[in-house]
Amino acid sequence: MQHSVIFKMHENIDPLRINEFFIAAQKLSAIKGVLNFKQWKQVSSKNPFQFGLSMEFNTEEAYQHYNNHPAHTAFIQDQWIPCVSEFLEIDLELL
């Protein structure tokens, strides 16, 4: 399973705050079961989103472990909610 979030930051957010956000996001890669964690910057002008995070999981159980992990829930409260204005969450499985 691939889990991705594509998002836009609040307008006029300080670049240092954005850097802090991505440093904190990188720490999510240490949660057991997270594979191939990547951070992305949008380069196309075809949509309004600016950034993305993606990761993979071998099982649904590993994804649920990540989703409910205290480090993930703290990231949502401390980083995501204060910084992100809009997002798409995309979860994909191979055909």
Quick: pLDDT tens for 2-20. 999 999 999 999 999 999 9
Dist. CA 5–CA 34, nearest whole Å: 14
Instruction: Tell whether pTM > 0.85.
Output: yes
- Tell me the pLDDT tens digit for each residue of 23-74: 999 999 999 999 999 999 999 999 999 999 999 999 999 999 999 999 999 9
pLDDT of residue 19: 97
| Degrees, nearest 5: CA angle 20-85-33 | 60
